[in-house]
Amino acid sequence: MTGSKTQAMAVSTESSDSRRPVPDKRVGILAAALRVFSERGVNGVAVPEIASAAGVATGTIYRYFESKEALVNELYRQEKAALHEYLYGGLDRDREPRAVFDEVWDRMVRYARERPEVYRFIELQDHQSYLDEESLALQRRMLLPMVNRVKAMQGRGVYRKDVRDRVLIAMGWGAFVNLLKVEREGLLTLRRKDLLAARELCWQLYTGECPG
Amino acid sequence: MTGSKTQAMAVSTESSDSRRPVPDKRVGILAAALRVFSERGVNGVAVPEIASAAGVATGTIYRYFESKEALVNELYRQEKAALHEYLYGGLDRDREPRAVFDEVWDRMVRYARERPEVYRFIELQDHQSYLDEESLALQRRMLLPMVNRVKAMQGRGVYRKDVRDRVLIAMGWGAFVNLLKVEREGLLTLRRKDLLAARELCWQLYTGECPG
Amino acid sequence: MTGSKTQAMAVSTESSDSRRPVPDKRVGILAAALRVFSERGVNGVAVPEIASAAGVATGTIYRYFESKEALVNELYRQEKAALHEYLYGGLDRDREPRAVFDEVWDRMVRYARERPEVYRFIELQDHQSYLDEESLALQRRMLLPMVNRVKAMQGRGVYRKDVRDRVLIAMGWGAFVNLLKVEREGLLTLRRKDLLAARELCWQLYTGECPG
Amino acid sequence: MTGSKTQAMAVSTESSDSRRPVPDKRVGILAAALRVFSERGVNGVAVPEIASAAGVATGTIYRYFESKEALVNELYRQEKAALHEYLYGGLDRDREPRAVFDEVWDRMVRYARERPEVYRFIELQDHQSYLDEESLALQRRMLLPMVNRVKAMQGRGVYRKDVRDRVLIAMGWGAFVNLLKVEREGLLTLRRKDLLAARELCWQLYTGECPG
DNA sequence: GATGAATGAGATTTCATTCAT
DNA sequence: TATGAATGAAATCTCATTCAT
């Protein structure tokens, strides 16, 4: 973990010594839970449904997780961390601000396309009552690097200073996430052009630059 | 009781001296439901909890609503319509675009301060499975005037044209709503200055204008 | 009550001194209860439904009857007694046995046509758990005159002696009542001819006579 | 699928050595439901009571039946079919009409002795509102062979022709069933002699023959 | 007396969790 | 270890009865 190859390390650790063609029941359960939770909410899904979505018996869930609540928390933390890693992992923060911004935005879009359930799940409101202190702490911890990045950019005169860092972040994130939500609800189909325009918009929102 | 007064009596008794002194049990139930739903989600609240929040017995809920589902739909439609009315009711759309924009934004903020549960409830994801066709139709119908307004502004060269109307709306609304959500989660406290800055930001987002 | 004009007496008592165009709420409630009970069973009807069928408020039921159970018992006793009176009241038992038999049978049929709900209600099984000791006693008491009549007819060599009185009665009554039930279920429509044939059959059942 | 053994194996495993040693929870629930329904009516019994009569937990009922209504229908169809099979199964209809009649009657009596709850349950009125189209169709279908038998006997000059087939059946069945009902109500105890006499009576009812 | 909204105990049904196999 | 039937507490909904007007 000392070097720069975080991702590579992770991969080699993963594949370790024995061929693991079956990605472990625990993983399958979490994946299935993510799928059904993102569709119908945490409270809207019964444990046996998670089990059958995962192709295991109900009881098996309880061999891997103490309770539904524990499963929800674990899933939340895993997906939150994975998203964070996907967005910021191996990011070269020394490049041009705009390039870094575009890279992160593109990763956000790519992730939304690859694993749309993740955003749905993370933005769910109805798991709030399930989340334990550790999950809430993670939530806050994950925010910090973003805040620091924005602060730094403001300090360097790249991002606008007339709006507080957290306000900028909240609005930028909300704009992006709601775009996905609206598309998911079928009110809008996002084409390549739209996404580029939205990226541009967001950049202007952060920096205060004008179009054109 | 011999003359014509019977009716008059009844009427005068009815309207008495104050506006709606009895707020009606139905109204109380809806208000209580809004409160508890916005806190723990629709699936997270049992009917007896709604009842006790409303100060009535469980059975009373069912005198006013066919089922929990019917209650959720009615509440959704009521709040959606009330919000819409609050934001756009009596709005003078012929004033300066910026003045109209500011007015709507200020109403959004004011409503969020007066009735914070409404945004929480309306933005909940977990009532989606409860919503019937009528509610979904309302959802779509409510969007139209907004789209038309944006289209008109784009046509008049006020709002930027390089971003599709629905994309603009989705991002603007998402930015605002997430600001509230983040505040609610305790990650941020919005001061007067922040809200004005956010308004400015959003205007720039719509128009493409530059700060300063 | 000393004379023979029982019926006339009853009528004159009924109309007494004041015009009673409204036949008393109590009577209306019992009538409505009979109607709905006979259709959906005692357990299948809620008290407010009885009330609305009677055109009174729910609470009014409880001004006239202590409970649903009390209402059921009263209705049962009233209808059982009324049926008994209709079938045997003022019957001249000294006429030809066959004439008496035909008369009773015809009354049974007439009553079934005039007030079909009565048979349905009385033959219901699901009020058994509601019936109190008094109702059960009436049930037994009502049987006695029939048993005595059959015994007398057996003694006079009119009805067959090779079958016990109560067996004869049970079978005759069951045959008649099931005929009505089957018609009610829509499996059969009883024409005049069928009813005469059934009467003949029943007479032969009681007496052992042959057709023709 | 190369050999024939797969199936053969399965079969021999299936039938093993003893006749259905495990009477299956489903069967137990149906049996318990029959018992309690026949005593207090379908509407008079709550699901937990069925459960405790069956020696299972309440929730278990719902693993085997979709709803109380589904349970009632299944039970109804099962018992109706079983009764029909018991009465007519393997019957040699080519024997003397009287012998066939006696055989069926005796089976009716035997079944009433072995499983008295079946008649009680089937003749209940208060499950009518529960019965679905399939059950009602079965009801009608089950009647047909009886009607055909009676028609045939009338054609052969065995049963009387002056009474319509369905009227004969309704009266005969009603006579029998009410005999049982009266006995169950404690108004009568049926001895062997009574049952033989009743059988004779019923035969005469069908044929028009005279006693002696 | 009459009303019918309100009540809350009880009915039906669901579901997180356990446990015998 | 995995299974999935079984469990019973809790959820949704009904209804006999009460009581303020």
Q: Is the pLDDT of residue C7 over 80?
A: no
Q: What's the rounded mean pLDDT across residues C6-12?
A: 38
B54 CA to chain A: closest CA distance, Å? 22
Nucleotide in closest CA–C1' contact with B63: E5
CB A58 within 8 A of CB A51: yes
pLDDT of residue A91: 93
> In whole numbers, what is the pLDDT of chain D averaged over residues?
88
One-letter amino acid for residue D159 of the chain: Y
B122 CA to chain A: closest CA distance, Å? 11
What is the distance in angstroms measured between the alpha-carbon CA of A62 and the sugar C1' of E15? 15
pLDDT of residue C76: 97
Of the candidates D184, D178, D42, the one whose C-alpha atom is nearest the C-alpha of residue D121 is: D42
Q: Which of C69, C125, C163 is most worth mutating to test chain D (most D CB atoms within 10 A of its CB)?
A: C125
pLDDT of residue D1: 37
CB D171 within 8 A of CB C170: no
CA dist., res. D157 & res. C147, Å (int): 35
B68-207 CATH choice from 1.10.357.10, 1.10.1060.10, 3.40.50.300, 3.40.30.10: 1.10.357.10
Nucleotide in closest CA–C1' contact with D65: E13
Q: Specify which residue's alpha carbon is closest to the C1' of nucleotide F2.
A: A60
D70-212 has the same fold as D22-65: no
pLDDT of residue C127: 87
Q: Which residue has the tokens 């590579």?
A: A8
Residue-by-residue DSSP string for D140-166: HHHHHHHHHHHHHHHHTTSS-SSS-HH
Q: Is the pLDDT of residue D8 over 60?
A: no
Kindly report the CATH number that applies to the domain delimited by D70-212.
Answer: 1.10.357.10
Q: Which residue has the higher pLDDT, B57 or B140?
A: B57
C-alpha R_g of chain B:
21
User: Are A198 and B171 inside 8 Å of each other by CB?
Assistant: yes
Q: Which of C178, C190, C191 is most worth mutating to test chain D (most D CB atoms within 10 A of its CB)?
A: C178
Of the candidates C28, D123, B198, the one whose C-alpha atom is nearest the C-alpha of residue A172 is: B198
Q: Is the pLDDT of residue D4 over 90?
A: no
**Candidates B128, B175, B185; nearest CB to A174:** B175
Determine how many CB atoms are found less than 10 A away from the CB of residue C113. Answer: 11
In chain B, where are the structural domains located? Answer: 68-207
pLDDT of residue A23: 59
CA dist., res. D174 & res. C170, Å (int): 9
Q: What's the rounded mean pLDDT across residues D47-57?
A: 96
pLDDT in tens, D149-171: 999 999 999 999 999 999 999 99
Of the candidates A186, D168, D23, the one whose C-alpha atom is nearest the C-alpha of residue C179 is: D168
CB A205 within 8 A of CB B161: no
Give the list of residues 6+ apart from residue D7 with CB closer than 8 angstroms, or none: none
CA dist., res. B104 & res. B89, Å (int): 10
Residue of C nearest to D180 (CA): C170
pLDDT of residue B23: 55
CA dist., res. A40 & res. C45, Å (int): 38
C27 CA to chain D: closest CA distance, Å? 25
CA dist., res. D203 & res. D207, Å (int): 6
Residue-by-residue DSSP string for B102-158: HHHHHHHHHHHHH-HHHHHHHH-STTTTT--HHHHHHHHHHHHHHHHHHHHHHHTTS
Determine how many CB atoms are found less than 10 A away from the CB of residue D37. Answer: 25
Determine how many CB atoms are found less than 10 A away from the CB of residue C212. Answer: 6
Of the candidates B209, B146, B200, the one whose C-alpha atom is nearest the C-alpha of residue B173 is: B146
Q: What's the rounded mean pLDDT across residues B121-132?
A: 88
Q: Which of B178, B179, B183, B205 is most worth mutating to test chain A (most A CB atoms within 10 A of its CB)?
A: B178
Q: Token pair for residue D173?
A: 């069945």
Of the candidates D33, D31, D29, the one whose C-alpha atom is nearest the C-alpha of residue D127 is: D33
Show residues of chain A in contact with B204, CB under 8 Å. 204-205, 208
User: Are C211 and D160 inside 8 Å of each other by CB?
Assistant: yes
If DSSP codes are grouped into helix, strand and coil, which group holds residue B195? Answer: helix
Show residues of chain A in contact with B42, CB under 8 Å. 126
pLDDT in tens, C128-161: 889 999 999 998 888 888 899 999 999 999 999 9
Show residues of chain D in contact with C208, CB under 8 Å. 204, 210-212
CA dist., res. D179 & res. C179, Å (int): 15
Show residues of chain A in contact with B46, CB under 8 Å. none
What is the distance in angstroms measured between the alpha-carbon CA of B183 and the sugar C1' of F14? 43
Q: Specify which residue's alpha carbon is closest to the C1' of nucleotide E7.
A: B57
pLDDT in tens, C102-135: 999 999 999 999 999 999 999 988 888 899 999 9
Give the list of residues 6+ apart from residue A92 with CB closer than 8 angstroms, or none: A100
User: Are A41 and B129 inside 8 Å of each other by CB?
Assistant: yes
Task: Give the distance from CA C97 to its chain's centroid.
Answer: 22
Residue of D nearest to C167 (CA): D179
Residue of B nearest to A140 (CA): B187
pLDDT of residue C23: 60
What is the percentage of chain C residues whose pLDDT exceeds 70?
A: 89
**Candidates C40, C143, C175; nearest CB to D187:** C143
pLDDT in tens, D78-87: 999 999 999 9
Show residues of chain B in contact with A198, CB under 8 Å. 163, 167, 171
- Residue B63 vs residues B22, B25, B58, B60: alpha-carbon distances, Å: 18, 10, 10, 5
Does residue A56 reach within 7 angstroms of strand F, measured from its CB?
A: yes
pLDDT in tens, A159-172: 999 999 999 999 99
Report yes or no on chains D and A touching (3+ CB pairs under 8 A).
no
Q: Is the pLDDT of residue C3 over 90?
A: no
> In whole numbers, what is the pLDDT of chain C averaged over residues?
88
Show residues of chain D in contact with C163, CB under 8 Å. 194, 197-198, 200-201
pLDDT of residue C12: 39
**Candidates A166, A182, A211; nearest CB to B187:** A166
Cα within 13 Å of Cα(A199), Cβ side: 20
CA dist., res. A180 & res. A199, Å (int): 13
Touching subunits for chain D (3+ Cβ pairs under 8 A): C
Helix residue spans in A24-115 (DSSP H): 25-40, 47-54, 58-64, 68-88, 97-114
Nucleotide in closest CA–C1' contact with A57: F3
Q: Which residue has the tokens 């049978």?
A: C105
Does residue A23 reach within 7 angstroms of strand F, measured from its CB?
A: no
Cα within 13 Å of Cα(C151), Cβ side: 7
Q: What's the rounded mean pLDDT across residues D21-28?
A: 76
User: Are D188 and C170 inside 8 Å of each other by CB?
Assistant: yes
Cα within 13 Å of Cα(D107), Cβ side: 16
Touching subunits for chain B (3+ Cβ pairs under 8 A): A
Nucleotide in closest CA–C1' contact with B58: E8
Topology of the domain covering D22-65: Arc Repressor Mutant, subunit A (1.10.10)
Which chain F nucleotides are covered by protein, judged by CB under 7 A?
Answer: 1-20
**Candidates D124, D167, D174; nearest CB to C174:** D174
What is the distance in angstroms measured between the alpha-carbon CA of D87 and the sugar C1' of E3? 56
Give the DSSP letter of residue B164.
-
CB B201 within 8 A of CB B171: no
B116 CA to chain A: closest CA distance, Å? 15
* Per-residue confidence band for D177, with pLDDT thresholds at 50, 70 and 90: very high
**Candidates C41, C167, C208; nearest CB to D210:** C208
pLDDT of residue D23: 55
Is residue D38 exposed (0-12), middle (13-18) or buried (19+ Cβ within 10 Å)? buried
Does residue B10 reach within 7 angstroms of strand F, measured from its CB?
A: no
pLDDT in tens, D89-118: 999 999 999 999 999 999 999 999 999 999
If DSSP codes are grouped into helix, strand and coil, which group holds residue B79? Answer: helix
Q: What's the rounded mean pLDDT across residues D118-125?
A: 91
From first to last of its 212 residues, chain A has per-residue pLDDT tens of 333 433 433 333 444 444 444 558 999 999 999 999 999 999 999 999 999 999 999 999 999 999 999 999 999 999 999 999 999 999 999 999 999 999 999 999 999 999 999 999 999 888 888 999 999 999 888 888 889 999 999 999 999 999 999 999 999 999 999 999 999 988 899 999 999 999 999 999 999 988 77
Residue-by-residue DSSP string for A141-187: HHHHHHHHHHHHHHHTTSS-SSS-HHHHHHHHHHHHHHHHHHHHTTS
**C-beta within 7 A of nucleic chain F, residues 68-87 of B:** 68-69
CB D111 within 8 A of CB D79: no
pLDDT of residue D19: 40
Q: Is the pLDDT of residue B106 over 60?
A: yes
Q: What's the rounded mean pLDDT across residues C32-41?
A: 94
User: Are D211 and C208 inside 8 Å of each other by CB?
Assistant: yes
A and B: number of Cβ contacts within 8 A: 157
Show residues of chain B in contact with A164, CB under 8 Å. 194, 197
Show residues of chain A in contact with B160, CB under 8 Å. 211
CB B69 within 8 A of CB B129: no
- Residue D10 vs residues A122, B23, C74, D13, D22: alpha-carbon distances, Å: 49, 70, 63, 5, 18
Does residue C48 reach within 7 angstroms of strand F, measured from its CB?
A: yes
Residues in chain A: 212
* Per-residue confidence band for C22, with pLDDT thresholds at 50, 70 and 90: low
A69-207 CATH choice from 1.10.357.10, 2.40.110.10, 3.40.50.11540, 1.10.10.10: 1.10.357.10
Q: Which residue has the tokens 């208060």?
A: D126
CB C175 within 8 A of CB D201: no
pLDDT in tens, B157-203: 999 999 999 999 999 999 999 999 999 988 899 999 999 999 999 99
